[in-house]
Amino acid sequence: MAQQNKVKKTRNFRLTLVDDKTHKHLWSAHFTKVGFIVAIISALVMLSAAVFCVVAYTPVRTFIPGYPDAHSKRAAIQNAIRIDSLENVIYRWELYSENLRRVVEGQEPLKIDSLINAAQASRTATADAADLLSKDSLLREVVREEEEFGISARNKRDLPIEGLHFFTPLKGVVSQGYDANIHPYIDITAPAGSVVKATLDGTVIFSGWSEEAGNTIQIQHESDIVSIYKHNEKLLKKVGEKVTAGAPIALVGNTGDISTGTHLHFELWHKGETVDPTLYIKF
């Protein structure tokens, strides 16, 4: 007997929509088993892609529980700043209450250095004290010995700092004030991209990036004054450029590892020592 070749037939299916009363065929679709599986998988992929696009690129994602929106982020930054300020107030009240108790009991009052050192130890538990001290010393040496552009050696009037007219570097809110021991500078919050301006005439002695401070610019002024602007989004001046008071030098940002939000970290140095900018500048 001749061997018969067996041909495997493809099973076809039909999906039909029929009127229940008239039995009229309204719609009909033919498909195979493989085609049906492919269609289901394609529909699931397209549905997943559509859901992903809606969640990722529309405000719908803010309705997901636990997803932070822009308002929540701003509130978190402001709360962190307030907590830091409250900690400083608590430290002072602790010193006041402890000294009051000691005076009533006839004991010697505590020196302010003891509480400040304790506060700094808790705030910088993971920092190396020797490293922080060396960085502070290096910065003081830069301020004292910076003569690259000969600003301090020129024959200009050596006016006292109280007699100088400072230009406001940034109009905003002072979120954290000056403290000579704990916070020897000020933080000014303002919208991202706001223009930072030079506070006095001078020459740019540093314009670059550091891991902690982000985009930083330093300006040497006459009368042994140096101003420092940190955490900028963009720097507009280069080393060696001369600037006038009020000239744009940078844009406010949130760069650097230690930055907690969009703000300007502003330092003012006079004869190698930090001074409180709010005593001479109205913000």
pLDDT averaged over 10-residue windows placed end to end, the chain, 283 residues: 55 79 80 82 91 78 65 75 79 77 75 55 56 68 60 53 90 91 92 94 94 94 94 95 95 92 94 92 86
Q: What is the pLDDT of residue 105?
A: 76
Q: What is the pLDDT of residue 232?
A: 96
User: What does the alpha-carbon distance between residue 221 and residue 215 come to, in Å, rounded to a whole number?
Assistant: 20
With contact defined as beta carbons under 8 Å apart, do 259 and 252 qualify?
Answer: no
Question: For residue 245, what is the DSSP state?
Answer: T
Q: Which of 185, 178, 235, 179 is nearest to 206 (CA)?
A: 235
What does each C-alpha distance from 40 to 32, 37, 50 come to in angstroms?
A: 12, 5, 15
Q: What is the pLDDT of residue 66?
A: 61
Q: What is the pLDDT of residue 18?
A: 83
Give CATH superfamily name and number for 130-279.
Glucose Permease (Domain IIA) (2.70.70.10)
User: What does the alpha-carbon distance between residue 227 and residue 186 come to, in Å, rounded to a whole number?
Assistant: 12
Count CA atoms within 13 Å of residue 206 on its CB side: 19
What does each C-alpha distance from 63 to 49, 52, 54, 67 come to in angstroms?
A: 19, 14, 12, 7
Q: What is the 3-state secondary structure (H, E, C) of 156-182?
A: CCCCCHHHCCCCCCCCCEEEECCECCC
- CB atoms < 10 A from the CB of 81, how many? 18
User: What does the alpha-carbon distance between residue 186 and residue 179 come to, in Å, rounded to a whole number?
Assistant: 8
Q: Which of 249, 242, 247, 211 is nearest to 228 (CA)?
A: 249
Residue 61's φ and ψ, nearest 5 degrees, are -60, -25
